[in-house]
Copies of this chain bind each other. A is one copy, B any other.
């Protein structure tokens, strides 16, 4: 029987070999955390390598994602479909072993990590998802949702602000099945952290209400094991196990220094490490006895089978619940969902109201049909209007809710939503002001990169928010969202388009959507049934002229009604004008060329875009010959009406611009 040290050394050897072969990567963390990982994975982790999608598996997150070879080694050794060849292709194009763990590339990778601190917040999201799902579906005598979430993290994660946001909330929520392992190696890229990071981390986490196991020797399996046992007994709050480790453990000349953090060790040092560790095997060779000891496939099959049997008993006793749980876990929407009817209803009602308020109406209508909605706001519920009438707060005493008061924690909200989405069983939505999207943009990006459904409610979408002034008025944010690959962005012009935007976001199962709503009232627009259907195309002709249009006005959100009024005035002056409403540029771009050309005829270059947002993005639609009525500067603090006038969002100015363009 191999020793634990030998088992851990298999990770060390594979990690240093793969980094060396790739000529880049991070050997330090895998070598430093190998002993911790060995104990956790061999003695505790509940998983089935043959079925990485088994719903009730424990979740394992490597928040210090640069140490990806640790995870790839674990997956390989324990029996996932990650081969030696895959490890040898570390960091190569389209390999299963990219530089950082990426969801969807590698069986067993639960979330994409690398941007520091976010994996930790993802893990908080997974733990929330597990506890909420358990509360919704477990029944006396039937525990079908019941797993831990384990997360590894380093100094970098703990320095990042998001660690504060996520862990403060995790403490308040009392997430007892979340267990974090801090790789306390005293080293970051700039060197010894004592020059810039001197927190008493145990005390900090106690202040958050966590259970802390301090001073664990991260190279002594029995201490690690005792710490995990203690953590598992504290089920009323999350646990942090602080493991003192040596970065690059085993590399005799580089361990304990930043030199082994982010670069290959080099052939000489690797040879010396083999000596030091007593690892006589050639590169990428692991003895069979070690593979045998690591292999988790048999145990994995058994635990999943046990769960399967329990699920069948649950199914027998609670057939409707079991069916619903299966639907939720498969990520299928309930059928029928009335979101299309909602669009029609809104069109018929023709109400003048703020799109944030129309959004609340959508939530009130669809929420009862969608128990998988798990909403929230970063302490702006009364402004974002996200706490719908069926919303029930989740807290440490009431797990069976559907709404998180995230507090003023935008970035953690975004990353927690990613964790909830990656866990499965929920559609997360979360809200803040559009400007403060910036606080969480990298989490939005991560949802897009991971192909996760997440719905962002970004209200107060322009200078139209008025008196709060330029710190709160978005200018460049829409450009940033629209330039984020795989993110869909909607800025509806009225209640009908708002319903269409929610419809689209809910049906966009494998990617995130940003819903951008106004603070102020928006007039309802008239549409025939073709126009109503075409909203789903992201851009459509809202008003056309009888004669071929001399100019096309393109607008979104609150500026659509302005475009319509200007078109009326221009028509009164004898001009033939088309108005295009373009609530979602990315959706429009995805339409067939023929449709796009029918909306924006290629030869028609007299185009004017109108949006109270940064101008630059609109050249894409008006080109070098059109005009853009937009923002080139920050806003000001004043009543909204004064601001729209000051920045030229008036019928007079639009008419003047169009007439000037027609006169060119």
Cβ-based interface call for A381 (8 A): yes
Chain B residues whose CB sits within 8 angstroms of the CB of A642 once the complex forms? 92-93
Q: How far is the CA of A61 from the CA of B430 in the complex (A)?
A: 30
- A483 on the interface (CB 8 Å rule)? yes
Of B99, B161, B632, B643, which one neighbours A160 at CB under 8 angstroms? B161
Give Cα A377–Cα B169 distance, bound, in whole angstroms.
Answer: 29
Shortest distance from the beta carbon of A355 to any chain B beta carbon, whole Å: 20
Q: Contact between A469 and B405 (Cβ–Cβ < 8 Å)? A: no
| Interchain CB contact under 8 A, B468 and A168 | no
Residues of A199-216 whose CB lies within 8 A of B: 199-201, 203-204, 206-209
Q: Mark A477-488, 1 if CB is under 8 A from B, else 0.
A: 001101111100
Q: Report whether B161 and A411 are in contact in the complex, using a CB–CB cutoff of 8 Å.
A: yes
The chain B residue with its CB closest to the CB of A174 is B198
List residues 403-432 of chain A with CB under 8 A from any CB of chain B: 405-409, 411-412
Question: Does A195 contact B438, Cβ atoms closer than 8 Å?
Answer: no
Binary CB contact string for chain A from 614 to 649 against chain B (1 if under 8 A, 0 otherwise): 101101100111000001111011110011001000
CB of A512 within 8 Å of the partner chain: no
A146-161 contact mask (Cβ, 8 Å, vs B): 1 or 0:
0000000001100111
Of B100, B155, B407, B624, the contact of A408 (CB 8 Å cutoff)? B155
A333 at the interface (CB under 8 A from B): no
The interface size of chain A toward B, counting residues with CB under 8 Å, comes to 113
Contact of A114 among B165, B188, B439, B472 (CB under 8 A): B472
Residue A399 CB within 8 A of the other chain: no
**Contact indicator per residue, chain A 113-133, by CB within 8 Å of chain B (1) or not (0):** 111110000000000000000
Does A407 lie within 8 Å of B193, measured CB to CB?
yes
How far is the CB of A53 from the nearest CB of chain B, in Å?
A: 23
Query: How near does chain B come to A96, taking the closest CB pair, in angstroms?
Result: 11
Would you list which residues of chain A between 158 and 174 have a CB under 8 Å from chain B?
Answer: 159-165, 168-169, 171-172
A24 and B519 CA atoms in complex are apart in Å by 14
Are B198's CB and A172's CB within 8 A?
yes
A to B CB contacts below 8 Å, 21 in the list: A66-B468, A91-B637, A94-B638, A115-B439, A160-B409, A161-B163, A161-B409, A163-B164, A168-B199, A188-B407, A195-B393, A196-B379, A199-B209, A436-B442, A441-B441, A441-B480, A476-B480, A476-B484, A480-B483, A482-B616, A623-B623
Enumerate chain A interface residues (CB-CB to B < 8 A).
22, 24-25, 65-66, 91-95, 98-100, 102, 112-117, 155-156, 159-165, 168-169, 171-172, 188-190, 193, 195-201, 203-204, 206-209, 258, 377, 379-383, 393, 395, 405-409, 411-412, 435-436, 438-439, 441-442, 445-446, 448-449, 466-472, 475-476, 479-480, 482-486, 602, 605, 614, 616-617, 619-620, 623-625, 631-634, 636-639, 642-643, 646
Query: A-B pairs with the 7 shortest C-beta distances?
Result: A161-B161, A164-B164, A98-B637, A93-B638, A623-B624, A114-B471, A476-B483
